[in-house]
Structure 1
Amino acid sequence: MRAVGNTGSPEPAALYLYRDWLPVSGEEARDLPINCQHVSFFPEIPKHEAVAELFCC
């Protein structure tokens, strides 16, 4: 999942994955953590353009 905006905390995106997307996806959560990779960072770009990608394993 790609999160755009203030990516200082990936918690809102992770909650969306677990609370909203996962139950309707037909997939099951595994016993692995979510990985977060920051693609672009503030202050190199404005906070509202920062990008992070979350990966569920």
Structure 2
Amino acid sequence: MTTPGEDFRFDICGELSAEANGHVPVNVQGVITKTLPAGRCAVVRHVGSYENISDSVYYLYNTWLPQSGEELREFPVYFQYLQLNEELPEHALQTDILLPLK
């Protein structure tokens, strides 16, 4: 039996400065160093609100993938937020959704 929260994990990725030497220092928050694995990905660009970003994810899994002949790699889908600007209107937000492939 799993406890609440064990079925879902949310990772956040960021770039480290040169002073960090590629590693997050030990911290009380439990933040650790990980690296995105190299490899091929299908990419779709979602434009607009994050509220309906799942529509773009479903498109990749349910429409594009079955028609592509590609196979999934053992790594979850991930997002690259192209702007982090609170002043940007929702309709102008752009996010790349990356689906790792074999």
- Normalised to the residue count of structure 2, the TM-score between the two structures is 0.50
In structure 2, which of residues 42, 50, 57 is the aligned counterpart of residue 14 of structure 1?
57
Alignment RMSD, CA only?
1.7
Q: Select the structure that is richer in strand.
A: 1
Structure-2 residue corresponding to 1:40: 83
Q: Select the structure that is richer in helix.
A: 1
Structure showing greater radius of gyration is 2
Instruction: Quote the Cα distance in structure 1 between the aligned partners of 2:88 and 2:59.
Output: 25
Aligned-partner residue type, residue 31 of structure 1? E
Aligned-partner residue type, residue 20 of structure 1? T
| Offset of residue 42 of structure 1 | 5.6
In structure 1, which of residues 30, 38, 41 is the aligned counterpart of residue 73 of structure 2?
30
Instruction: Please list every run of 5 or more consecutive structure 1 residues that lacks an aligned counterpart in the other structure.
Output: none
Instruction: Please list every run of 5 or more consecutive structure 2 residues that lacks an aligned counterpart in the other structure.
Output: 1-43
Aligned-partner residue type, residue 45 of structure 1? L
Kept in 2: contact 1:40–1:51 (CA 8 A) = yes
Kept in 2: contact 1:35–1:56 (CA 8 A) = yes
